[in-house]
């Protein structure tokens, strides 16, 4: 199986950048396509690990315009580095159990 890679999300500028000041945001990639993100900031002292997965039913969340949804792991590491290590450690399990949404 392919390995996940990580890329620092570009800093937002202007008024949008004000809302994300002081927050860490890293994209999770597979085959050079963003499949999730790591997010830490605001009132969150721990890192959220989120992946984009296919919906089982298009109306699962009441939004017929989108074929995927966010899936957040229960594991909440203290740092981005711990989150990356966790994803590398469980790479095969994550790819096998989650139906990742990969845009072609």
User: pTM to 2 decimals?
Assistant: 0.86
Which residue, among 20, 67, 66, has the nearest Cα to 41 in the 3D structure? 20
pLDDT of residue 26: 96
Residue 62: which region, alpha, beta or left (left: phi > 0; alpha: psi -120 to 50)?
A: left
Q: Tens digits of per-residue pLDDT, 27-81?
A: 999 999 999 999 998 777 899 999 999 988 777 777 788 889 999 999 999 999 9
Handedness of CA 13, 38, 94, 53 (dihedral sign): negative
Residue 26: which region, alpha, beta or left (left: phi > 0; alpha: psi -120 to 50)?
A: beta
């Amino acid at each position: 199986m392919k390995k996940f890679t990580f890329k620092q999300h570009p800093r937002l500028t202007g008024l949008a950048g004000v809302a994300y000041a002081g927050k860490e945001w890293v994209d999770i990639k597979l085959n050079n396509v963003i499949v999730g993100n790591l997010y830490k900031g605001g009132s969150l002292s721990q890192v959220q690990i989120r992946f984009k997965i296919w919906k089982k039913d298009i109306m699962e969340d009441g939004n017929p315009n989108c074929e995927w949804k966010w899936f957040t792991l229960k594991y909440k590491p203290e740092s981005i580095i711990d989150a990356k290590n966790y994803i590398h450690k469980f790479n095969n399990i994550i790819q096998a159990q989650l139906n990742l949404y990969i845009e072609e």
